Chains A and B, each alone.
Chain A
Amino acid sequence: MALQAIAFYLLAVATVVAGLLVVSARNPVHSVLFLITAFFSAAGLFVLLGAEFLAMLLIVVYVGAVAVLFLFVVMMLDVDFAELRQGFAQYLPIGGLVAGFLTLEMIFVAATVATNGAAGKSAVPMASAPGVPNTEMIGRVLYTDYIFFFQLAGLVLLVAMIGAIVLTLRHKPGVKRQDIGKQIARTPKTGMELVQIKPGEGISE
C-alpha cells in the first residue's frame, strides 16, 4: 500500500509539473516534450487505477502518434513564437480574471468533494465484473452496448477525412500518372507507329 501511495504521489506531481512546464516553456519543442512526459505519468496513474488498457492506449495513441505529430508540426512550421507572445501583457488582465474565477470555483468544488464525497453511493461507476480484466471488459462492451457510439465515431472520422480531401486535394491537369489498365491493354498496334521517311527529309513532329 505504501509503495502504491509513493507511486501515486510521484506520478501525480510529475503530471502537474510537466503540465505547468508545457505552458511555460519558452521553446515549443520543449513544450511538446513536456507534454509527452505528462502523458507518460498520466499513463502511470491509469495503471495504478487498474486500467492497464487505457494506460497502454495513452502511450500508443497520444505519445506514439499525437505528440510526435505535434513535434513534427512545431518543427516544420516556421511559427514566430515571439510574435505570438506579443499580446500577452495586453490580454493578461482579462485572462487572469477568468483564470482566477475558474481557480476559485475549482477550489470550491474540491472542497465540496472533500467534505461530501464525489458522488452519491448509487452513483459510483460500475467497475468491471470480478475476475474479468478491463481490457477484456472493454472488448466485450465496445461492439455490443456501445455499438451506437462506435459507429458514430467512425462517421466522425469519415467526415474529417472527407473534409481534408475537399479542402486540400487539387487535381492538376497535365500530370502524368501510371494507369496500369492502360499499360496492360497496350498492343504493338497502339504502342508503335510505322513512319515512311523520305530520304533527306527527316521527321517533323
Chain B
Amino acid sequence: MTFAANFSLVLPEAILGASALVLLVWGAFHGKVSPLFTGAAVLALLGAAVAAMAGPHGHAFNGVYAADAAATYAKVAIYLFSAIAVVLGDRWLAVRGDQKFEFAVLIVLAALGMGVTASAGDLISLYIGVELQSLALYVLAAFRRDDAKSSEAGLKYFVLGALSSGLLLYGASLIYGFAGSTRFADIAAVAHGAHGMGLLFGLVFLICGLAFKVSAAPFHMWTPDVYEGAPTPVVGFFAAAPKLAAMMMLARVLGDAFPDAAGQWRQILIITSLASVFVGAFAGLAQSNLKRLWAYSSIANVGYALLGVATGGETGLGSMLLFMTLYMVDVTGFFACLQALSRDGKPMETIEDMAGLVKERPGVALAMTAFSLSALGLPPFSGFWAKFYVFGAAMGSGDVLLQWAAVLGLVGSVVAAFYYLRLIKTMWFDAPASAVDKPQPTARAIGFAAALFSFPVVLVALIWLDPAARAAAAAFGHA
C-alpha cells in the first residue's frame, strides 16, 4: 500500500492535526481570539467531518487504523459536537472576558484523539488516541485556572484518568504478551484458539480502564466532581463526544479483537451496565447541583449504552450508536441552555435556581423541559427512542440474562424519572426568586435547535439515523 493510499484514509485526522498546528501558530502570534479564529477551528472540524464522510474505506498502516462505516458514523458525530463545543465555549469564555486561543486548539486536538480511537485497529493506536484525547480534556477541565473548583476538577480528572490509563495499559500489555500482536485482527485470530485464559485476564483490565473513561459504575467516582467543577460548556462537551469515543473503543476492542469471547465479556458488561443505571438513578436523587445531577444522569445513560454493547452484533452495537447520538444531542442542548442562563450575573447551577423559570424565560424553560422529558424516556421525545432501540435489541437477543438486564434497566429509569420531574416541577410551579438575566443568544439558539431535534425532528431523523447506525454497526468484526 502506497503512502498516498494510507494518507487518504487518515485524511480527517491529518486535516485536524494540520489545522491544530496552524491555529496554534496563529493564536500565538495574534494573541487575541477573533470570531475569524473560532470560525477557522469550527471549519477545520467540519472539514474533517466531511472528509470522514466522503473518504474511502479500508485499513491503513498495516491495519492499525480502520476507516470503515462505524468509524465514519462516530467521527461525523464526534467532529460535529466538537465544533458545537468550540462555539459554546468561546461564547461562555467571552462573557467572562477569559478567552484564550488554546481552548479551540485543545478541542481540535481532543477531537483528533477521539477520531483515532474511533478507528483504532490496534492496541497502540487505541492507547495513543486515548491519551491524546484525555490529556486535552484534563486541561480543558482545569481551564479556569483561577477558580479553585475548576483546578480541583482538572486535578481529580488527571489523577484518576492516569490510574485508568495505567489499568488500560496493563491489560494491553497482558493481551500483547498472550496474543503476540497488538493488532485487533491478530488478537481475534489467537483468541479464537485455546489460549484464551491470559487474554481474558488482560481483557478484564482493558475493560476496567475503558469503563473509567466512559464513567461506568463502579469506576464513576470522578464524574460528579469533575462535572461540578469544570466550566459548563466543557462539561457539555465531556458528556457528549468523549463518551461516544469511549463507547466506540469498547465496541472496537470487543467487536473487532474479541468477537469469539462474547460469552465472557457479556457478563462483565451487563454487571457494569446495571450498576451504572442504579448508581446513576439513586445517587442522582440526592443532588441539588444541576451539573452533578447530570453527571449521575450521564452515568445512568452510559449504563443503557453499555447494555447495547453487551447485546453485541449488528442490532446491539447499532442501538448503542443510535442511543449515544440521541443522548449527545440532549446533553449538549441541556448544557447550552444552562450556560445561557444567569441570574444577576451569577450562573444558575442548582435546581432551586431554576424556580419559576417558565415565567421569566419561557423558551429556555420549554427547551429544558424537553431535555428532561427526553432523558426521562417519555415518548415521543428522542430519549424514548434511544431507550426503545437499546431495550428492543436486548429483548430480541434471546439471551435470558440480557432480557432480565433490560427489565432491571427499565426499573432504574423509572427511579431516575423522579429527579427529572423534580426539575420540571421547580421550573414550572415554583415562585421565581429574582429576575433572570437575558440569555446568551448563541448558546440559547443551540439549545433551541437541540430541543427541536429532541422533538419533533427526531421522528424524521430516525428514518435516516437508524439504518445509518445499523450499517455502521455491521462494520464491526471485520478487522
A4 contacts the other chain (CB 8 A): no
A124 contacts the other chain (CB 8 A): yes
A152 touches B128 (CB 8 A): yes
Bound Cα distance from A112 to B132, whole angstroms = 35
A123 touches B179 (CB 8 A): yes
Bound Cα distance from A151 to B100, whole angstroms = 26
A105 partner residues in chain B, CB cutoff 8 A? 201
Q: Identify which of residues 3-20 in chain B touch chain A, using a CB-to-CB cut-off of 8 Å.
A: 6, 10, 17, 20
B201 partner residues in chain A, CB cutoff 8 A? 105, 108-109
Nearest CB to that of B143 among chain A residues? A166
Segment touching A, from B102-110, B353-361, B410-418: B102-110
Inter-chain contact total with CB atoms closer than 8 Å = 104
Bound Cα distance from A108 to B174, whole angstroms = 14
A92 contacts the other chain (CB 8 A): no
Bound Cα distance from A120 to B193, whole angstroms = 8
Bound Cα distance from A145 to B122, whole angstroms = 13
Q: In angstroms, how far is the closest chain B Cβ from the Cβ of A130? A: 19
Q: In angstroms, how far is the closest chain B Cβ from the Cβ of A32? A: 18
Q: Mark B166-181, 1 if CB is under 8 A from A, else 0.
A: 0000000010011111
B132 touches A155 (CB 8 A): yes
Segment touching A, from B44-52, B56-64, B392-400, B454-462: B56-64
B93 contacts the other chain (CB 8 A): no
Given the interface pairs A112-B198, A123-B195, A124-B180, the reply to whether A155 lies near B112 with Cβ below 8 Å is yes
Segment touching A, from B134-142, B290-298, B373-381, B465-473: B134-142
Given the interface pairs A125-B181, A152-B129, A167-B139, the reply to whether A109 lies near B100 with Cβ below 8 Å is no
From A156, A158, A165, residue with most partner B Cβ within 10 Å: A156
B186 contacts the other chain (CB 8 A): yes
Bound Cα distance from A124 to B181, whole angstroms = 8
B436 contacts the other chain (CB 8 A): no
A152 touches B132 (CB 8 A): yes
A163 touches B139 (CB 8 A): yes
Which one of A108, A119, A124, A162 lies within 8 Å of B139 (CB-CB)?
A162
Bound Cα distance from A119 to B175, whole angstroms = 10
Query: Is the contact region of chain A dominated by helix, strand, or loop, or is it mixed?
Result: helix
Which one of B102, B125, B178 lies within 8 Å of A119 (CB-CB)?
B178
Nearest CB to that of A115 among chain B residues? B197
Nearest CB to that of B146 among chain A residues? A170
Q: Identify which of residues 209-223 in chain B touch chain A, using a CB-to-CB cut-off of 8 Å.
A: none
Interface size on A, residues (CB 8 A): 32
A149 partner residues in chain B, CB cutoff 8 A? 64, 124-125, 128
A168 partner residues in chain B, CB cutoff 8 A? 145
A152 partner residues in chain B, CB cutoff 8 A? 116, 125, 128-129, 132
Bound Cα distance from A182 to B7, whole angstroms = 45
B102 partner residues in chain A, CB cutoff 8 A? 162, 165-166
B131 touches A156 (CB 8 A): yes
Q: In angstroms, how far is the closest chain B Cβ from the Cβ of A44? A: 20
Bound Cα distance from A189 to B277, whole angstroms = 76
Q: In angstroms, how far is the closest chain A Cβ from the Cβ of B336? A: 24
A99 contacts the other chain (CB 8 A): no
Q: In angstroms, how far is the closest chain B Cβ from the Cβ of A183? A: 21
Which one of A119, A162, A166 lies within 8 Å of B195 (CB-CB)?
A119
Bound Cα distance from A108 to B61, whole angstroms = 36
Q: In angstroms, how far is the closest chain B Cβ from the Cβ of A102? A: 10
Q: In angstroms, how far is the closest chain B Cβ from the Cβ of A128? A: 15
B125 touches A148 (CB 8 A): yes
B65 contacts the other chain (CB 8 A): yes
A113 partner residues in chain B, CB cutoff 8 A? 198
A118 contacts the other chain (CB 8 A): yes
Nearest CB to that of A162 among chain B residues? B102
Which one of B62, B124, B143, B181 lies within 8 Å of A123 (CB-CB)?
B181
Bound Cα distance from A174 to B32, whole angstroms = 19
B261 contacts the other chain (CB 8 A): no
Q: Identify which of residues 70-127 in chain B touch chain A, using a CB-to-CB cut-off of 8 Å.
A: 100, 102, 105-106, 109, 112, 116, 124-125
A167 touches B195 (CB 8 A): no
From A117, A118, A151, A162, residue with most partner B Cβ within 10 Å: A162
A145 partner residues in chain B, CB cutoff 8 A? 61-62
A120 partner residues in chain B, CB cutoff 8 A? 180, 190, 193-195
Residues of B within 8 A of A (CB): 6, 10, 17, 20, 24, 60-62, 64-65, 100, 102, 105-106, 109, 112, 116, 124-125, 128-129, 131-132, 135-136, 138-139, 142-143, 145, 154, 174, 177-181, 186, 189-190, 193-195, 197-198, 201
Residues of A within 8 A of B (CB): 105, 108-109, 112-113, 116-120, 122-125, 145, 147-149, 151-153, 155-156, 158-160, 162-163, 165-168
A-B pairs, 3 with minimum CB distance: A123-B180, A163-B139, A148-B61
